[in-house]
């Protein structure tokens, strides 16, 4: 486990847990992942945020909700990107009074069995990141090209934005409600791959205590990956613009 140098503070009880699972064409995966979450953290609630999946994922989610009061469904009008789905889920959870909000993929790459360790770490942190790139973390069934892109993206973001986080792009995260409320979510415009970079950077800048916990990331066995060239290009130019803008602002401030 690694920690940044965010402000140490007294942390209260975690409160009720909400696991947010965005979906688009995850009909093959949604039942198994919900079952695994319910078995791993029985007290947690789940919010399936479905972007009007044409494969019927939303209907399956409704069936799960009808048979389990801990499962909730948000039906969105269309595919608007991962960031937009999480932002909507965060707001739903905050409005409903949840104390912890968790990001988790629907395809099983984020193993629900590891969630208890993230929640334990959150007892003394503001944000916990499941990390592939610290000691004890690893990826399974990834080609070297995919690992190079992911490691390279995290390293580039960490250096350019000056954030002490090894896995800046990872999407398995547990937030305290107060942390999300302090990130200025209404100003977040990134929707794809760089959404995770944006939130991590905001947390560090805001002085929140961020902890990384090693995870094993497992490549999906069913369905298609949502990663695309356009998502990577968006991430590259946004991170570059943020980094350059931040450095210019620091120089200008020193000059003034």
Mean model confidence pLDDT for the chain: 88
Buried b (16+ CB within 10 A) or exposed e, 68-97: eebbbbbebeeebbbbbbbbbbbebbbeee
| 3-state helix/strand/coil string of 24-56 | CCCCCCHHHHHHHHHHHCCCCEEEEEECCCCCC
pLDDT given for residue 151 in this prediction:
84
- Decide: 163 and 201 in contact? Cβ < 8 Å: yes
- The contacts of residue 200 (CB under 8 Å, 6+ apart) are 127, 129, 163, 165, 168, 210
Percent of the chain with pLDDT over 70: 84
Q: How far is CA 215 from CA 41, 55, 71, 105, in A?
A: 17, 30, 25, 14
Percent of the chain with pLDDT over 90: 65
12-41 residue pLDDT tens = 899 999 999 999 999 999 999 999 999 999
- The contacts of residue 157 (CB under 8 Å, 6+ apart) are 163, 168, 169, 197, 201, 239
pLDDT tops 80 at residue 246: no
Going across the sheet that includes 45-50, the strands are 2-3, 210-214, 127-131, 173-176, 100-103, 17-23, 45-50, 71-75
- Mean pLDDT over 152-164 rounds to 86
Question: Cα 8 vs. chain centroid, distance in angstroms?
Answer: 22
- Decide: 131 and 167 in contact? Cβ < 8 Å: yes
Model confidence pTM above 0.85: yes
What's 175's DSSP letter? Answer: E
Q: Virtual CA dihedral for 209, 165, 203, 238, nearest 10 degrees?
A: 180
Q: Could you tell me which residues are beta bridge partners of residue 71?
A: 46
81-138 residue pLDDT tens = 889 999 999 999 999 999 999 999 999 999 999 999 999 999 999 999 999 999 999 9
Element at 250 (helix H, strand E): helix 229-255
Domain 2-255 has CATH 2.160.10.10: no
At residue 223 the predicted structure's pLDDT band, cuts being 50, 70 and 90, is low
């Amino acid at each position: 486990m690694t920690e940044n140098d965010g402000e140490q503070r007294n942390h209260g009880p975690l409160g009720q847990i909400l696991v947010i699972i965005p979906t688009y064409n995850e009909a093959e995966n949604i039942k198994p992942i919900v079952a695994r979450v319910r078995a791993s953290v029985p007290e947690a609630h789940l919010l399936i945020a479905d972007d009007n999946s044409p494969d019927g994922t939303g209907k399956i989610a409704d069936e799960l909700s009808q048979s389990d009061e801990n499962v909730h469904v948000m039906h969105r009008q269309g595919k608007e990107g991962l960031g937009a789905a999480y932002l909507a889920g965060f707001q739903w959870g905050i409005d409903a009074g949840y104390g912890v909000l968790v990001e988790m993929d629907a395809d099983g790459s984020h193993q629900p069995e590891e969630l208890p360790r993230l929640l334990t770490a959150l007892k003394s942190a503001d944000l916990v990141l499941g990390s592939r790139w610290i000691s004890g973390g690893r990826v399974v069934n990834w080609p070297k090209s995919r690992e190079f892109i992911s490691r390279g993206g995290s390293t580039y973001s960490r250096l350019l934005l000056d954030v002490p986080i090894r896995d800046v792009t990872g999407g398995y995260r547990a937030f305290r409600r107060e942390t999300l409320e302090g990130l200025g979510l209404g100003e977040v415009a990134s929707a794809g791959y760089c959404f995770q970079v944006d939130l991590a950077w905001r947390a560090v800048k805001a002085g929140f205590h961020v902890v990384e916990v090693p995870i094993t990331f497992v490549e999906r066995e069913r369905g298609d990956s949502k990663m695309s060239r356009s998502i990577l290009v968006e991430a590259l130019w946004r991170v570059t613009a943020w980094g350059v803008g931040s450095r210019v602002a620091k120089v200008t401030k020193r000059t003034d």
